[in-house]
Structure 1
Amino acid sequence: MTGAVHDTYVAALQHDSAGLPADARRVGVVRKPTSWFHGVVDENRPELGPPADLLEEFQALEEEFKVQGMCEEGAHNGAWDEVDFEERYRAHLESEAARAGVEDLLDLLDSGTDVALVCYENTDDKRCHRTALREHLEERV
């Protein structure tokens, strides 16, 4: 029996609106969690957060787009496309730095544990690395 992989964001967990199975293991996938982040996840895997250089490049371009007058969603998604975020993040998941974290999650899923990937980004209208990670895990299960 294989567990299911879900993704959500921290505010949805705080407001009990994530719609996750009650026994899902909540795994944070942020590089630099705040102190309160640890209170809503069972563990955090910083190695599964976006690499610092990719995140910095993305955030700088997103901010530049906002200064140019783009709405938050448009700036976010435009920067995502411009820096090839998903492709570069998926390459990171294959790297030595992230391999153990990916394998640990695959082991949890193989044991029948449902896993919920958690970060800060509300993805109703924005793209997020945790969704790319969820898809990567689903492809590997």
Structure 2
Amino acid sequence: MTTDRSAADLVRAALVAADAGDVASLEQAMHPDLVVHLAGVPVPIEGREHWLAGVMEMAQAFPDLHTDARAVLEQGDVVAVRSVLRGTHRGMFNGIPATGRVIEVMSNDFYRIESGQVVEAWIVTDTGTLFGQLS
């Protein structure tokens, strides 16, 4: 996939699509062989479809999820994003039934772009705070 938009714009659009559960837009933005490294998880997620399953779980569990990208920096083929995610826990998430609680967590992420698609990502979300807010 080729595009004239910047890598930072690609990532911003992907974040909006993830919040909305817009699978079609995410499939365009993410390479089929996407590799996602999650902080604290020793084995990366390999393949766009596996990563999309997690995004869809998040969108269903937090239907009002909003990612506030506070800083987006692009250098070469890498985009860094500092963001705050907010949403209301209204569905099953990671085995936890809906609590109705509002979450607000920080994430610091890096995305490597090739030919207009994300090919690799490093996601550093404050999951300690997330699960603390759900318990």
- Report the structure, 1 or 2, having the larger helix content: 1
Q: Which has the larger radius of gyration?
A: 1
Answer 1 or 2: higher relative contact order, Cα 8 Å, separation at least 6: 1
Common fold: TM-score over 0.5 = no
Higher strand share: 2
